[in-house]
Structure 1
Amino acid sequence: MNSTVTLPHRVTDQQFLRCRKVTTDNGVQSVVLPFKAEVSKLEDVTVEWKHKDKKVHEYQRGQNQSHIQGRSEMKKEQINTGDLSLTLKDLQLTDSGVYTCTVCNKDGHMLLQKVVTLSVRVPEVEMEVKESVVLPFKAKIRNPEDVTVEWKHNDKKVHEYQRRKKQSHIQGRSEMKEQINTGDLSLTLKHLQPTDSGVYTCTVCNKDGLMLLQKSVFLSVRVPEVYAVGTVKESVVLPFKAKVSISEDVTVEWKHKGKKVHEYQRGQNQSHIQGRSQMKKEQINTGDLSLTLKDLQLTDSGVFTCTICNKDGFVLPEKVFSLRVKESLRDRLNPSSWFNKKDPQDGPKTSGGDV
């Protein structure tokens, strides 16, 4: 809620207005930090906006001055009506924080002060594992041939554009189209992986290395679960056919609740659950990475994850299954089994439907 205070020409008491919070998304064109007050003889006052004690914008003797490369603005025609609001353009995450507007008379005595807290949020893009996703960023750039554009993921370089040359730092899975001259700095990520989740930051710098623009996007990559049902003492197949070529340099790892179940590496199969898991070698070469679980137990219920890595440790497609193991009808009707089975609370509880 905005507060309005009427001040006489000579004021001895300082007036403090209540703090206001403004929330907006990173990368939007602009946001207004509101401040309306009735101040007499505006030509004699100095209005100063600060962000974390650093000067952002100043109005003095009818003149406006931005201290953040023109990204701040106070409209002169509105100032005369007592509207001291500040407009911030090309918002960045670093713009978050406390802004203070101080009004002083010609003797430097503070007349009025207001505090506004700005929260710049990271917009979120949520995708399932699939071929590609676009992280959008459109901006107005002067002399695009002179700028450097750098996309980072969790502070690691992903893609770079400099002097009309583009370079992917994630084995060609990133791409910026030939639209930079139109201000389209969007990044396309191909062959999405769960490890692609996180914060992506695009920074635009001029030829002198001075930052002009910055935008952040949060990407959430979800792996869709496939539900499967098996019966105690029988076997079940968790099917996975990968669209990648499988060579002896590739490691395939199946895990259950984060614990290793089965591993295929350098042409060798290894079960980590006493031989109850199996991958058929003759099928692996065709991209069939299905896992067979034998002699099922109630404790086999839960989430199974299959991960493929190349020799450099680079993660390729991933598959997630939710397995529910149920008792056979014979066991449920056999009274002797009632005394041997475990309490269901001892095993994992997962929800899932029949395939």
Structure 2
Amino acid sequence: MKAQAVLSIILILVPSLSGFHDTFLLASPNLVTTEEEQIVIGRLGEDIILPCSFESEPEVVIHWKNQDNYVYSYYKDRDYLENQDHRYTNRTSLFHSEIHNGNASLSLRRLSLLDEGIYVCYVGTTSRKIINKVVLKVGAFVTPVMKYEKRNTDSFLICSVLSYPHPLITWKTDNASISESNMEEIESLGPFYVDSMINITGSNLSYECAIENSLLKQTWTGGGTVKDDLHKMQSENFSLSCELTNSIFLLDQDFKVTWSKVEKETSSILAYFLSSSRNTTIYGPRVSWNKEQINQTDFSLTLKDLILSDSGEYLCNISSSKYTFLTIQALHVVEQSQSRTTWIIILSLGFLAICIFCILKRYNCFRRERSSVHTERANMTNAEESKALSEHPASTGN
């Protein structure tokens, strides 16, 4: 009877329609009070459980609050949500079947960044009061993407991510760190969507972009390489290379490979591969893909019977949830007539160079022969003069 009387006082001090007042916790000075504090990290758009436990008793009052906002109320074995803040409508629930086992945890669904804050769980029983504080932190890290863009004559690699809190983004080229002055961050679609870009200044260089969300302890890496320009003749078959040398990034992960031709403002997809189904999709009769090579992480694509309009830049994109690798290749298709003219010019110049070399060589030989003749004649003249002097020596006066 005494316990029921104490609980009745508690319930009287909790208006059933006007909301909850903290005075219910002070209904009896003999109640035992316990306090705890926990940190819970949730992810944007997902569900979370805010923990709260107590020693089970037959009668219990539960209230959840966030600052001055009512989140949830439960007593007399039923919910009272009349004064619940509208932000939590249809997003909260208790585990009713476990309340009498001492579980007063709150389920909060479809987290938003506005849900961050300190939540307080008040539990009152006939013998004690419990105050549990839960610090809820909400993080966001939507899978980043790495893009390649051409703007006039400049080329850029861009890493984009929706992240909260603000992510740490670092760039490397050939494993050497790039200073912050050489990269640019833009919050293009709001305070949590970040673009980080660098200007590509050379070919056959490797680039790496690493993004880290410190709250969620989540990282992502993007890599890219721009290969030297290639010149091919019309009607040739040509293989566009794309190979992931460090295949460890694809282990135990679903990934996709997309080949596209980069235009000024848009791009057209040529082929598509999805690892989960092992299926390839080809767009265009002159495009082919070797499935055996794909199984070995070689994603090279073949273009048959090249035409002049095939000239342009081609992009191979290998992506998983934790990694992206881009390969950019520029192709220039030359007409066969132009190619023949080029070869004729090259051969003519080569022939001319050989002729000039032979003429110079012949001229040098001629000069050496003339020099030799002059030397012989000079030697003969000297010999004749010496002989004449010996036969007619000069007279000596007495």
TM-score band, normalised by the shorter chain?
0.3 to 0.5
Larger Rg: 2
Higher helix share: 2
The TM-score normalised by the length of structure 2 is 0.32
The TM-score normalised by the length of structure 1 is 0.36
Structure with greater contact order relative to length (CA < 8 Å, sep ≥ 6): 1
